Amino acid sequence: MDLLLAFILAMVLTMALIPPLMRRAGALHVLDDPGLRKVHDHPVPRVGGIAMAIGAAVPLLLWLPLDQVAVAWLAGALVVLLFGIWDDRVTLAPDIKFAGQVLAALIVVFAGGVEI
């Protein structure tokens, strides 16, 4: 039952956050402008990842026991989110995106005490 409630909360939060985030996309500088390789002819908000990250994190914070591994995982997810927002704002080079993913993985492995 708790898993179902967590899923419903994540879904409702994500859906509820998209409209206000879309309205603020210009102020947040997360718009995808039209271009030669784009199919849209007007700026499109890039806020779905932000809404999904918040929608997924809140149920985890409410139901997950916050041990060392969970905190490290959430910190790694935050790094991925921040690099994603940064990429939406300025279009990062692939090596910078990859560095963010490596940083997130290193946080999970070393701060979380994960062993492979």
How does pLDDT run across 8-55, given as a tens digit for each residue? 999 999 999 999 999 999 898 888 888 888 888 888 888 999 999 999
pTM: 0.86
Q: Which residue has the tokens 């708790």?
A: 2
- Quick one: which of 57, 51, 42, 46 has its CA closest to 6? 57
Residue 7 pLDDT exceeds 90 = yes
Helix (H) or strand (E) holding 54: helix 48-63
Distance CA 45, CA 30 (A): 6
Strand positions, DSSP E, 26-99: 31-32, 44-45
How much is the pLDDT for 31?
85
Residue 116 pLDDT exceeds 90 = no
